[in-house]
Structure 1
Amino acid sequence: MSKTIIITGASRGFGKIWAKALLKRGDKVAATARNIAHLNDLVEEFGDAVFPIQLDVNDRAACFAAVNQAKEHFGHIDGLINNAGFGLFGAIEETTEDQARAQMETNFFGVLWVTQAILPIFREQQSGHIIQVSSFLGLVTLPVLGLYNASKYAVNGLTETLAAEVAGFGIKVSLIEPNGFSTDWSGASAFQTEPNEVYAPIKKAFAEGATPDTWGNPEATTPAVLALIDSENPPLHFLLGKIAYPGVKQVYADRLAQFEEWKEVSANAHGH
Structure 2
Amino acid sequence: MTRVWFITGASRGLGRAFTEAALAAGDRVVAASRNVEPLAELEGRYPGALVRLPLDVSDRKAVFDGVEKAVAAFGRLDIVLNNAGRLLLGMVEEATEEQLREQFDVNFFGAVWVTQAVVPHLRAQGSGHILQVTSMGASGGFASTGMYAASKSALNSVSEALAMEVAPFGIKVTILQMGGYDTGLFTVGTTTTEPDPRYADLRARLAEMWGDDAGPDPSTAVPAVMELIDLPEPPARLIVGGASYDMVLQMEQGRIEQYKAWERLSRLAPG
Q: Given the alignment of the two structures, is residue 128 of structure 1 paired with residue 120 of structure 2, yes or no? A: no
Which residue of 1 is the match for residue 23 of structure 2?
A: 23
Which residue of 2 is the match for residue 202 of structure 1?
A: 202
* TM-score, normalisation: structure 2: 0.96
- Which residues of 2 match residues 41-120 of structure 1 at below 5 A? 41-120=41-120
- Which residues of 2 match residues 148-227 of structure 1 at below 5 A? 148-211=148-211, 215-227=215-227
Query: How big is each residue's C-alpha offset from its partner over 1:92-151, in whole Å with a ceiling of 9 and x where there is no partner?
Result: 111111101000000000000000000101111111000011001211332111110110
Whole-angstrom distance in 1 between the partners of 2:24 and 2:253: 41
What code does the residue aligned with 1:40 have?
A
* TM-score, normalisation: structure 1: 0.95
Which residue of 2 is the match for residue 240 of structure 1?
A: 240
Whole-angstrom distance in 1 between the partners of 2:18 and 2:126: 25
Whether contact under 8 Å (1:82, 1:131) holds in the other structure is yes
Q: Given the alignment of the two structures, is residue 250 of structure 1 paired with residue 264 of structure 2, yes or no? A: no
TM superposition shift of 1:242: 2.3
TM superposition shift of 1:217: 2.4
Whether contact under 8 Å (2:182, 2:214) holds in the other structure is no
What code does the residue aligned with 1:149 have?
A
Residue segments in structure 1 that go unaligned for 5+ positions in a row: none
Whole-angstrom distance in 2 between the partners of 1:220 and 1:98: 34
Whether contact under 8 Å (1:3, 1:78) holds in the other structure is yes
Whether contact under 8 Å (1:140, 1:248) holds in the other structure is no
Computed over aligned residues only, the root mean square deviation of the Cα atoms, in angstroms, reads 1.4
Whole-angstrom distance in 2 between the partners of 1:183 and 1:99: 21
Whole-angstrom distance in 2 between the partners of 1:228 and 1:16: 18
Whether contact under 8 Å (2:6, 2:79) holds in the other structure is yes
Residue segments in structure 2 that go unaligned for 5+ positions in a row: none
Whole-angstrom distance in 1 between the partners of 2:195 and 2:242: 31
Whether contact under 8 Å (2:137, 2:248) holds in the other structure is no
SS, match of residue 181 in structure 2: coil
SS, match of residue 185 in structure 2: helix
Whole-angstrom distance in 2 between the partners of 1:34 and 1:157: 26
TM superposition shift of 1:35: 2.1
SS, match of residue 157 in structure 2: helix
- Which deviates more from structure 2 when the two are superposed, residues 242-251 or residues 97-106? 242-251
What code does the residue aligned with 1:151 have?
S
What is the aligned length? 271
- Which residues of 2 match residues 2-17 of structure 1 at below 5 A? 2-17=2-17
Which residue of 1 is the match for residue 229 of structure 2?
A: 229
- Which deviates more from structure 2 when the two are superposed, residues 95-104 or residues 207-216? 207-216
SS, match of residue 133 in structure 1: strand
Whole-angstrom distance in 1 between the partners of 2:214 and 2:67: 36
Whole-angstrom distance in 2 between the partners of 1:196 and 1:116: 39
What code does the residue aligned with 1:223 have?
P
Over the matched positions of the two proteins, sequence identity in percent amounts to 41
Which residue of 2 is the match for residue 142 of structure 1?
A: 142
Whole-angstrom distance in 2 between the partners of 1:192 and 1:176: 25
Q: Show structure 1 runs of 4+ deviating over 3 A.
A: 211-214
SS, match of residue 47 in structure 2: helix
TM superposition shift of 1:255: 1.1
Whole-angstrom distance in 2 between the partners of 1:142 and 1:262: 22
Whole-angstrom distance in 2 between the partners of 1:133 and 1:40: 24
